[in-house]
Structure formats: structure tokens, C-alpha cells
Structure 1
Amino acid sequence: MEATLTDETQRIRLLASRVEGLPALPIMASKLLEVVDDPKASAADMAALISTDPALATRLLKLANSAYYGFPRRIGTVNLAVVVLGLETVRDLCLSVLITDCFFKGESNATFDMNGFWKHSMYTAVCTRLIYKMAGARHPGEGFITGLVHDIGKLFLGRYFPVEYNEVIATVEEEEFPLLEAEQQHFGVTHPTAGSWLLAEWNLPNWLVEAARDHHGSSSGGENVKLSCSVAFSDLLVRRKYQDEGGPGQVNEITPEMIQVLNMKKDVSGKPDFDIYNAKLEGEIDKAQGFMEAITKPG
């Protein structure tokens, strides 16, 4: 009998209860969300908030001045960065920095290759922003942070339950078992469910929670379906192109919903034109090298 979402939520809560010191996002994260959700908030309000955290302000300026955005003149102040990038993009960049500092730091172990995991997460972030933008998204920066955290449930399971997750990996590699089925077998939950639960616990936006939950193509429709399809397709593209990054995974299938929602570019046979998408992804990854470094390195 297939587990319901409620069953899985109860199981992930039981798992989380075994974890000592599960990190919480800084209060700055909720303040960023409050500013963007406030219809009366201005760029000056956002700049004033970020300026209370000099380290975050410095990181934001590095990101804004990276080749990834390609602005012709240097952005010298937080206020100008907010005006040029917009409230939503600044929110997403700052949240990406805060989540990275809070949860993505740590050493590799026998279970988890942090360097490979981080590369896969960053490449998927860059790709999701690209695909979401190509699909006509109003705020493509939401694609970046979604791609960044799409596998955060895998990190949660691997970091806090390394023995059990090592058994998952062994099952996948030795028995050629699908990753999600192996996770369900060993934990009673999958990493998309674990990740979406953690993001919800941090009170992050629903569009981010849903897209993380649905990034293996299990979208239930709704207002966030374009974002969910963007991250699912991006995960597929990155795994196909950079097969050695990110550790054991499960390559998504192209679904009719994905093709329709993303209005995919097709080759002469009517299938998604991977040559086009791969070329665009390569270009974005090249541009984003300095940007990716600025996300991870303070100061």
C-alpha cells in the first residue's frame, strides 16, 4: 500500500525528533520574506534591512556585480542592487546565502560527497533559473533558489542518518534499485518529502516547498506547476550532462505535462532538443562560476 503524504509527514517528524541541533534559519530570512510580502515596502526598506547585516550586504554586492548578471556598470550600494535587481531577486539571493551558510556547510563522509552534492545543487540552480525564464516566468530568481535546495532532503537524510543512508546508496548501486524506492524502503520517506518538510519548518514560501516536493516529476498541478516542471527538467538535464556530480540519483522522465507547461523546444523528431538546452546550460554555467563562488564564500 502506497504511503500517503500524511504518513510520510509523520515519519519525517519522527526522524527529525532523533536529530539533536537541527539548524534553524536566521531571523533575517523571515524579515526578508516579510518585506517582499508587504505591498507598501520599497527598495529602500529592503536595502535598510540588508544593511543591518554587513556580511550579507557584502555577499549581495558580490553577486550583483558578477558576470552572471552582466550589468555594464558596477553596483556600489545595497540600495542600487535592490533597485536594479528587484525585491524578489534580492530576496532569493539573500535566502540562498542564508540557507547555504546554515545547512550546506560540512565535510564529506563515507556516505556523502559534499563537493559533488554542492556542484549538482548549484548547476541545477543555474539551470532551473534558465529553464524557468525560458518558460516565461515573471521572477526567474525563484528558479535559482528552488534548484539550489531541491535535494536538501537528501542532505538531511545523509548527514543525520549516515548509516541508514549508506544502506540506501548500497541498495541503489548494488541492486540497481531506484533511489526513491530505496529511500522509501529504508526510511519510510523519500528525500523530496524530507526536503519539503524541512523548508516548510523554516517557514519558506509555499512555491519553494511544493517545487522541492515535486522535483522528481510528481507534480500535482496547481499554481506552482511551471516551477515544479522547471526544476524537474533541470535536474534531468544536469544529471545527463554532469553524470559524475551529485552522487547516486534518479534521472527524471520527460512527461507530457513537462513538455506542455515548459513549451519545450523540440528537434525534428518532435522530442525535446537536448542539444539546444545543453548549449544554453553550458553558457550559463560558464557565466556563473564567480557567482557560485560568491554564494559560498563570506566576505
Structure 2
Amino acid sequence: MFAWLQRLFSGSAPEPVRFSAPESERSAPPEVTPQPAVACAPAGPDPAAVPGPAPVSFEQFDRVNRAWEGWLFARSGEDTGLEMTPTEARVLDALEGINTSQQSGVALVRRMPGLIPQLLQSLRSDGFSGAALSRTISSDVVLVAEVIRLANSCYIGTGTTITSVEHAVILIGQEGLRQLITSVAFRPIIDMHSGHYTRTLARRLWAHAERCAVANRVLAEQSGIEPFDAFLAGLVQSVGLIVALRIMDQVAKGEHDMGSELFCARLAGAARSLSCSIAREWDFPPAVIQALQEQGGPRKGAQMSALGRLAMLTDYLARLQALSRLGLLAGLDQSLLAGLPPAATHCYQLLAAAPEERAA
């Protein structure tokens, strides 16, 4: 799976695609206005790109992490979390069984639809017509909805509505389609009819992952890190925990008594192992897997790879920004930003401009 994604985001210039408009629209082709790139990254090399210690201190990480877990599990500040409930213990046992089995966690993640690689390959083929691409997209209801939505976003406030998939394909263009299809390919299917924890937390976690992935990729371009590796690390970092939510629902059977501090600490480690296992089976680059292994909080004297440092920085700042926006921190204490790499300011601004997480 990684091979064709790597080709998609390779440094070489993509081959042009010649779209053929439908007969009814050839006389008046839609005008496409290029969208300027957002320059959020610092101009020079960033210390986050240099292997070294964690970019945040233990005290910073611990304070934000506690608040983040409290928000996810609706845990009050008075909860001591010194003991786990029997349900929490069963969940951790189940996750340990998955992590130590041949199955790993990849079987619990929806595999990429077969037409996604076909579409991305087509987008790199010279002379591929808009009509043929539209027919392929039309076989996937999720892609149809996303393509129409994105095309209509270009015409907000004009009174014009795009209803034709082929018209939408021509309007969006090659680069827009590449980004949209890749996003859809990686987005987990979240069944809102599933259990309490999936319904409550999965969308929050995936929104967080997407924001981290975008921030990773923007900052990586000026940090000496492969942008696609950074993008993948941001996306897959939360996949293990999203898989764990399904296990929690299966074990809990309607009970909502999970979220103690001890459970959250052990859950984070088990979820990280799941993410690494899934990344290996999906043939992700070694740099991505190493970066995932390096997460879990600052450790005294431990050295982190450049990508590991960037992933920790964006994850920390995304949590900090979300908690501050939700009013769950007692003021944005400057100590939470003290000593961070120069890229932190740009990253925080980028995250602040991203859409808010949807309420559960």
C-alpha cells in the first residue's frame, strides 16, 4: 500500500492530466482559481529537524496530557485514578492479546477500497479523461459526496450549485483530487451505531490526527524531514487508539466506568503498539515506525529522531490548542509554551486556524 502512496507524494513533478469535459459543458468551461499555499513554516532550518531530546518537557507534557485525557473520558479533576476498574483491566488484557498475537491490529482497521489506488494511478496518467475518472468515482458513494462537497465549496455565496460529478472533477483539478482521495483513503469508517466509546471519542481522535498530519507536512517542508513521512506519522499516530475504542465497546457492554489515570497511561502504551503494528503491516517507512515508537512522553536522556520530535511537538500543540479553545485549561500558561522549538509558534498558528473538533 505504501508504494503507490509514495509515488503519489514523490518529489518528481506529476504527469499532466488532460480532462475531457462533457459535451454540454465544453462551450463554457468552468473557471478555476488556483488557491495560494499557506506559508506557515519558518523560513530557516528548525531545531525540531535535528535528532535530540524531546521538544517538550515532562512537566509540560504531563499537564496537557492529563487535561486531554480528562476531556476525552469526561473525568473530573477529583478522580485519583490510583486503581483500575475490572472492566479497564479486561480491556487492557484484550489489547495485550492483540498486540502479542499473529493477528495484530490491522485486521480491525478497514482496508483501503480497491478503487482508491486505481484512481490515484489514473491521476498520474497522461490523457486520462474527466468522463472516465467520473465514472470510477461514481462507484463509491463516499467519494461522490466528498467531490461534490469540495466543488461546491468553491462557489459558496454565488448561487451556483454543482450537481454533476464530471463537472466537479474538472473544477477541482488534479492536485485537489489527489489530496481529497488520499484523505478519504485514510479516513477510518466510524460507525455511529457502535458502542459508547467509539461514538463519543472516535471523531475527536480522527479530527486531531488530521490536524497533526497537516501541521506535520507543512512544517516538515522547512525542517529537512520528508513531508510524506511526516504526513503519515500524523495520521497513523491515533489509529491504534481508535482501534482500541472498538475493543473497549466490546468489553464494556454498555458500562461507562473507564478513564482512570492508571488505565489511560497503560492504554496509551497499548494503543501505540497497535499503531506501530498497523504501520508495519501497511509497509510504512521505517522512519515513521521509529517516530511512533518514540512517542509516549519525554524520557530523561532519551534521544529522538527528527520525525519523532516533530510528531511529539505537533501532537502536544494540537492538544494544547484544543484544550485552550474549549476552556479546559486555567488560562494559557506561558510555561506551557516555554522552551519549545521556534517551529512551535508557526505550528500553533496553523492549528488555531484549523476547523474545530465536532462535538460528540
TM range (shorter): 0.5 to 0.7
Q: Match for residue 262 of structure 1? A: none
Is residue 325 of structure 2 the alignment partner of residue 239 of structure 1?
no
Q: Match for residue 49 of structure 1? A: 136
Among 239, 254, 262, which residue is 1:174 paired with?
262
Q: Name the stretch that deviates more: 82-91 or 149-158.
A: 82-91
Q: What amino acid does structure 1 have at the position aligned with 2:213? A: T
Among 70, 93, 100, which residue is 1:11 paired with?
100
Q: For 1:61 and 1:145, how far apart are their aligned partners in 2?
A: 26
Is residue 290 of structure 2 the alignment partner of residue 206 of structure 1?
no
Aligned runs of 1:271-282 on 2, under 5 Å? 271-272=341-342, 274-282=344-352
Please provide the CA RMSD for this pair: 5.1
Unaligned runs of 5+ in 2: 1-96, 296-302, 326-336
- Per-residue deviation, 1:57: 2.0
Among 215, 231, 240, which residue is 1:130 paired with?
215
Q: For 1:214 and 1:79, how far apart are their aligned partners in 2?
A: 36
SS in 2 for 1:206: coil
Q: What amino acid does structure 2 have at the position aligned with 1:117? A: A
Among 181, 191, 206, which residue is 1:105 paired with?
191
Q: What amino acid does structure 1 have at the position aligned with 2:274? A: H
- Per-residue deviation, 1:95: 1.4
Q: For 1:149 and 1:119, how far apart are their aligned partners in 2?
A: 14
Give the paired residue count: 233
Q: Match for residue 175 of structure 2? A: 85
Is residue 278 of structure 2 the alignment partner of residue 195 of structure 1?
yes
Among 221, 231, 237, which residue is 1:150 paired with?
237
Q: Match for residue 63 of structure 1? A: 150
Q: What amino acid does structure 2 have at the position aligned with 1:282? A: A
Unaligned runs of 5+ in 1: 1-7, 246-266, 294-299
Q: Match for residue 256 of structure 1? A: none
Call closer, same or farther: CA 1:82–1:149 in 2, change over 3 Å. Answer: farther
Q: For 2:288 and 2:251, how far apart are their aligned partners in 1?
A: 28
CA radius of gyration, larger in: 2
Among 106, 112, 120, which residue is 2:205 paired with?
120
1:134-163 Cα distance to aligned partner (Å, 9 max, x none)? 432899798667644431222223314654
Could you tell me whether the CA contact under 8 Å between 2:105 and 2:240 is conserved in 1? Answer: no
Q: For 1:191 and 1:34, how far apart are their aligned partners in 2?
A: 29
Q: Match for residue 29 of structure 1? A: 116
- Per-residue deviation, 1:62: 0.8
**What is the TM-score normalised by the length of structure 2?**
0.47
Q: For 1:270 and 1:113, how far apart are their aligned partners in 2?
A: 33
- Per-residue deviation, 1:236: 1.9
Could you tell me whether the CA contact under 8 Å between 1:122 and 1:147 is conserved in 2? Answer: no
Call closer, same or farther: CA 1:87–1:206 in 2, change over 3 Å. Answer: farther
Call closer, same or farther: CA 1:215–1:32 in 2, change over 3 Å. Answer: farther
Q: Match for residue 64 of structure 2? A: none
- Per-residue deviation, 1:33: 4.2
SS in 1 for 2:102: helix
SS in 2 for 1:100: coil
Q: For 1:217 and 1:78, how far apart are their aligned partners in 2?
A: 42
Call closer, same or farther: CA 1:146–1:29 in 2, change over 3 Å. Answer: farther
- Per-residue deviation, 1:64: 4.5
Taking every aligned residue pair, what percent have the same amino acid on both sides?
Answer: 14
Q: For 2:273 and 2:140, how far apart are their aligned partners in 1?
A: 36
Q: What amino acid does structure 2 have at the position aligned with 1:154? A: L
Q: For 2:159 and 2:228, how far apart are their aligned partners in 1?
A: 21
Relative contact order: is structure 1 or structure 2 higher (C-alpha 8 Å, sep ≥ 6)? 2
Q: What amino acid does structure 2 have at the position aligned with 1:129? A: V
Call closer, same or farther: CA 1:146–1:14 in 2, change over 3 Å. Answer: closer
